Structure 1
Amino acid sequence: MWLFSLENSLQAIAPHLLPLIAPDALERLQAIGRCFPDALTYSYGFEARLHPAEPTVDFAIHITPTERDILAGLHPTIKLPDVFQQHPVWQRIRQFCLEWADPSSELHYQVNDLWLEFDAHQSQNLPDVPVPGLFVSPVPPQGGIVPDYTWIWRKALPLLCDNDMAEGVELNVIQCIQNLPTQVGIFQFGFMFGRKIEAVRFCLSGSPIQMIPHLNQLGWQGSLQEIERLFALLYSYCDGAILDIDVGSLIYPRIGVEGIYISRYLSCVNGQWASLLNHLVEQNLCEPFMRDALLKYVGYTVNKPLHQRIYIRGLSHVKLLYQPGKPLSSKVYFGVMHKPISASPTLSAGLQTRAGTSLANSAAVASPRATVTQSLQAAITFLLTSRDSQGWWTDFHLGAGLSDEWVTGYVGTTLASDSAIAVNAQALDAAQTAWTLLQARRHRITGLWGFNRFPPGDADSTGWVLQLAHGLGEPQSERVQQALQSLREHWRSNGGVSTYGSASPIRSFIYAAPEQSMEGWCGSHVCVSAALAALPEVRDQLLDYLRSTQNSEGSWSAYWWHDPEYSTALAAEALAVSDESSEAIANAVQWALQRLSPTGFIATNDHPLGSPFATAWGLRLLLLGKPEQTETAIAAVIRWLLNQQQLDGSWESSARLRVPFPDDLDPNQFDRWVYHDKIEGSLNFDQHHVFTTATVLQALFKAKSHLPFNADAESDRPLTAVD
């Protein structure tokens, strides 16, 4: 019936599974796997106990819109066995997927993906037709819009449960959804089929500060201090956490807290998992042999049964389970992606885990373009087509929504450069449109620009808009002069510039209490000062401050950015205008060289195989060095960046914007960042790829004379000329 079943896939990775699960457990997994074509999923996972350790494992299959048609019975050639069509549970799953596939159905726009989860406990006899649990992931909200989850009880649950929920469950489910705090979202919901639906599992994402009190509001009777302890056990070692609750006729006492990573595969290779598992062993929440086996599990295998296939193995997340009166227990979730090599751009193509994020660094996609000019054109085309209907660029979804003013100023600055216009004349039109839009934003009496139209104006956003104005030859315009005048309020006594000039407006905007200190957000910021120092009107006023804030190893720390390459490159470039041979610049260049890998990239915690954002800023630093010291490194960086360009012309989102707490004077000392949250204490990437792409493009333009072609020639040399 199929060329490959999931049993074949499991056999390929069996040697790596056996240290983690017993042989008879693997046999049960294979028995489930032979019921399904391997085309039903590109990734699947396992759930095992860390403590107390048990020889059992559950099996979960990830279904995306790509594979949905198989479950819906719509695929022209791949079908489930006929016996599945007669089973009542699989009939419900099929009907749900039919609705999901139908563009006229609400589910088509609300459901992101789902997981089928199979119990494989040794105490159970496997039926001829395995009956799964089903967990649904809603589409993440976009653009600051508060999600409407009413479709869950109006459409999804009636389809899946066939109105078979126990009395009182539906009412509690509705109340749970309706009473969610503003900053708490539903990451997943689901339940196990094959028995009376006594409860619905909700996996909630957001800030623990809001999620934990919500438990008591729902009527949970346990100790909130114990749940806080679970979060504390994981927070220093993970990127974020998810709260699992079971909503039935009551909120069941058992609570789960999942410690998640944003970049699943990368966290395996950069040491985060080793630190986490060692910590759990110390807390008696992980057996040492499980830790050792899990760390050895990570990797990939290439098999050639009929054609090359790759199996990428990685760890997903852990879960701590709390139940009043019982010791804590823990679980681990790990998985595999399997694909034909022909379907995978690289060995590190993205593997979807249960948390719905990439298990591998999907940025490592070599550009198929033959010439450098074609790569630059593709990047500009990506930026031109990434604007909204009015002409704004948007990125970074925070509590205030998506940024348009700041991001548009930043991207417009890149496209207003002579290098961009030489590659694509439409770049100038786009930059001029951006300036027109920004000038039309006149609702702030100060004339400043901000993150978007809602918050108070800030010096950083204003600085990038002013750089755009300079690029377009508008430095003397009335609006530019008004903004420069208003920026005076942002200067601090130590010579640096603060993001916010005064505390009152931003305090009011974030609804901060009167006693909340805003000293952090209203203090001098190196990254903001360095960006403003690109403006001739204020550069000289900032040079002494920049010289005084350089770190001993040669870098400059950032306040709003996790990557110091950003502030270091901007500070060094500003100093180089007046003294390009200064010791400060030489130290910064040496720091960049030490950060660089032999193959030409700069690694970060999230991108240990290379961050395009950090590497692009590193390139700008290298361009300030002496050619005899940096020429080889510059060539390696350019080669790496060009080879990381994705098929749509962009580079992978890797600009890590952070939102410190308002009173935090040194966010580099804070170690409990929550990824993709929208408020203080969070880290966010440019999910639209716009900010990173503009950053890399600008760096390549500045490295124009080093690119592997003569800009004045009629044709380019191929990318291999960089080698």
Structure 2
Amino acid sequence: MSEVAGARGELVEAIAAGAAHLVSRQEPDGYWRDFHMPPGRSDTWITGCVGVVLNLVRDLVPTELGTAGAIDRAACALRASRRKGGWGYSRRVPCDADSTSWAVRLLAGYDHREIPGEIFDKYVTSASGIRTFRSPKFFGSWADEHDEVTPAVGLAFLALGDSSAVDRIRPRVVERHRESGGWTAFWWRSDAYGIAHNLMFLARTGGVPADVAAVERARLDDFVARDGSCADTPPEPPFDTAHRLIAAIRLDAQDHADLFLRALLEAQLPDGSWPPSARMLVPGESDALEYIDDRGLLSTAVAVMAAVEAVSTSAAAREQYAAQRLRRRLIEEK
């Protein structure tokens, strides 16, 4: 039985510690704030991300951690800050599809009717991909179709129960992979983020096509065994390791998942957080500036999300393992 399948207790403890840290870092106005960039800190985007993750863990962790109250406060803050185009990195800058997708995913758990159905209309391209910003005239390449953002909006449509929108986006996600042999990173230093979110979206909307899965499994092989051997821990920061873990789980690459899980748990700090390691890019005309989540909130949220994926896998794996043992015992008794 794999480490993922056998480590549920340790995983739940790690999740609870991470969730407690996130709850403790929520500010009195309901927002979480992270990243220090020229426009200031992110509030709406980060709040959507952390809120979605805490919503995933609320049934796994003790109620006294206060996750439910934190989620409610975040939802109130996001409701109050919604604009015609949705939400942005913060309330000071234009709205974008990615920030809007996280806010929608959180608020969809309350009442779908409070979210306008057309909120993403101006972000959808003619090819059914998603651009991050609405106007190519004003935003240039920031308003191109981005592989990291399309699945995020797809997951938002899934949360809203909009199956027709999901059915339009899914073929585009697959097509983009087949066009270039993978998904291209734009907003993040590593490709791990985009791969994980595209695989999550595909897995939840009919499954990962066999040819896509084969390419991404090979990519994981290259990552953990560049010298022909299997490394003890992946040499990437925790934010990327968490996304590799999600990808491995969605690809049913159990040996790889064990490696990533071990590395992720070893990186957790005594206060329940994970080190700041989310390396976001702000592309310019000739180069890209890199910013990190200096408060570690996004890194911690993503690590908790990956651990939740592993817990789900461990439950399914234990059931499968028990069934296999039962079948073997019945065969032996015959």
Report which of the two has the higher share of helix. 2
CA distance 1:642–1:554, shift in 2 (3 Å): farther
What amino acid sits opposite 2:207 in the alignment? D
**1:578 and 2:206 are equivalent in the alignment:** yes
Task: Give SS of 1:477's match.
Answer: helix
Task: Give SS of 1:658's match.
Answer: strand
Match of 1:657 in 2: 280
Sequence identity (%): 27
Match of 2:124 in 1: 491
**1:702 and 2:309 are equivalent in the alignment:** yes
Match of 2:296 in 1: 689
Counterpart selection for 1:558 from 185, 188, 196:
185
Superposed, 1:44-443 pairs within 5 Å as: 371-417=10-56, 419-425=57-63, 426-442=66-82
- TM-score using structure 2 length: 0.81
**8 Å contact 1:554–1:588 — kept in the other structure?**
no
Match of 1:363 in 2: none
Per the TM alignment, residue 503 of structure 1 is displaced from its structure 2 partner at its CA by: 4.8
Match of 1:477 in 2: 113
**8 Å contact 1:498–1:523 — kept in the other structure?**
yes
Match of 2:6 in 1: none
Q: Write the deviation string for residues 568-626 of structure 1: whole angstroms up to 9, x where unpaired.
A: 111122222213453213322331232235345443xxxxxx31111111111111224
Match of 1:461 in 2: 99
Tell me the distance in 2 between the aligned counterparts of 1:613 and 1:447: 29
CA distance 1:372–1:460, shift in 2 (3 Å): closer
Per the TM alignment, residue 539 of structure 1 is displaced from its structure 2 partner at its CA by: 2.1
Match of 1:501 in 2: 134
Report which of the two has the higher share of strand. 1
**1:542 and 2:163 are equivalent in the alignment:** no
Equivalent residue pairs, number: 298
Per the TM alignment, residue 477 of structure 1 is displaced from its structure 2 partner at its CA by: 2.5
Task: Give SS of 1:520's match.
Answer: helix
Tell me the distance in 2 between the aligned counterparts of 1:543 and 1:522: 20
Match of 2:4 in 1: none
CA distance 1:623–1:436, shift in 2 (3 Å): same
Task: Give SS of 2:41's match.
Answer: strand
**8 Å contact 1:397–1:684 — kept in the other structure?**
yes
**8 Å contact 2:89–2:95 — kept in the other structure?**
yes
Q: Write the deviation string for residues 180-218 of structure 1: whole angstroms up to 9, x where unpaired.
A: xxxxxxxxxxxxxxxxxxxxxxxxxxxxxxxxxxxxxxx
What amino acid sits opposite 2:121 in the alignment? R
Structure with greater Cα Rg: 1
Match of 2:249 in 1: 623
Task: Give SS of 1:429's match.
Answer: helix
What amino acid sits opposite 1:488 in the alignment? D
Per the TM alignment, residue 374 of structure 1 is displaced from its structure 2 partner at its CA by: 2.7
Task: Give SS of 1:548's match.
Answer: helix
Task: Give SS of 1:423's match.
Answer: coil
Q: Write the deviation string for residues 457-510 of structure 1: whole angstroms up to 9, x where unpaired.
A: 11110001111123x243x222x2x2x413111111232111111257xx4xxx
CA distance 1:525–1:392, shift in 2 (3 Å): same
**8 Å contact 1:569–1:618 — kept in the other structure?**
yes
CA distance 1:641–1:553, shift in 2 (3 Å): farther
What amino acid sits opposite 2:289 in the alignment? S
**8 Å contact 1:394–1:407 — kept in the other structure?**
yes
Per the TM alignment, residue 408 of structure 1 is displaced from its structure 2 partner at its CA by: 0.4
Counterpart selection for 1:593 from 210, 213, 221:
221
**8 Å contact 2:178–2:212 — kept in the other structure?**
no
Match of 2:331 in 1: none
Per the TM alignment, residue 632 of structure 1 is displaced from its structure 2 partner at its CA by: 2.1
CA distance 1:616–1:555, shift in 2 (3 Å): farther
**8 Å contact 1:602–1:618 — kept in the other structure?**
no
**8 Å contact 1:553–1:591 — kept in the other structure?**
no
What amino acid sits opposite 1:519 in the alignment? G
Per the TM alignment, residue 420 of structure 1 is displaced from its structure 2 partner at its CA by: 3.7
What amino acid sits opposite 1:374 in the alignment? E
Instruction: In structure 2, list runs of 5 or more residues that go unmatched.
Output: 1-8, 320-334
What amino acid sits opposite 1:527 in the alignment? E
CA distance 1:620–1:465, shift in 2 (3 Å): same
Match of 1:103 in 2: none
Q: CA RMSD in A?
A: 2.5
Instruction: In structure 1, list runs of 5 or more residues that go unmatched.
Output: 1-369, 508-517, 604-609, 665-669, 673-680, 713-723
Tell me the distance in 2 between the aligned counterparts of 1:602 and 1:549: 27
Structure with bigger RCO (C-alpha 8 Å, 6+ apart): 2
**8 Å contact 2:87–2:103 — kept in the other structure?**
yes
Match of 1:11 in 2: none
Tell me the distance in 1 between the aligned counterparts of 2:245 and 2:255: 12
Per the TM alignment, residue 379 of structure 1 is displaced from its structure 2 partner at its CA by: 0.8
CA distance 1:595–1:617, shift in 2 (3 Å): same
CA distance 1:467–1:602, shift in 2 (3 Å): farther
Q: Write the deviation string for residues 316-338 of structure 1: whole angstroms up to 9, x where unpaired.
A: xxxxxxxxxxxxxxxxxxxxxxx
**8 Å contact 2:26–2:70 — kept in the other structure?**
no
Match of 1:613 in 2: 239
Tell me the distance in 1 between the aligned counterparts of 2:24 and 2:245: 26
Q: Write the deviation string for residues 516-551 of structure 1: whole angstroms up to 9, x where unpaired.
A: xx3201111111112112132232221222122216
Tell me the distance in 2 between the aligned counterparts of 1:386 and 1:567: 27
Per the TM alignment, residue 703 of structure 1 is displaced from its structure 2 partner at its CA by: 1.0
Tell me the distance in 1 between the aligned counterparts of 2:133 and 2:122: 9
Match of 1:527 in 2: 148
Task: Give SS of 2:95's match.
Answer: coil
CA distance 1:590–1:706, shift in 2 (3 Å): same
What amino acid sits opposite 1:624 in the alignment? R
**8 Å contact 1:543–1:575 — kept in the other structure?**
yes
**1:644 and 2:267 are equivalent in the alignment:** yes
Task: Give SS of 2:49's match.
Answer: helix
CA distance 1:703–1:646, shift in 2 (3 Å): same
Per the TM alignment, residue 412 of structure 1 is displaced from its structure 2 partner at its CA by: 0.5
Task: Give SS of 1:703's match.
Answer: helix
Tell me the distance in 2 between the aligned counterparts of 1:586 and 1:467: 30
**8 Å contact 1:409–1:465 — kept in the other structure?**
yes
Q: Write the deviation string for residues 668-695 of structure 1: whole angstroms up to 9, x where unpaired.
A: xx6x5xxxxxxxx310010000000000
- TM-score using structure 1 length: 0.39
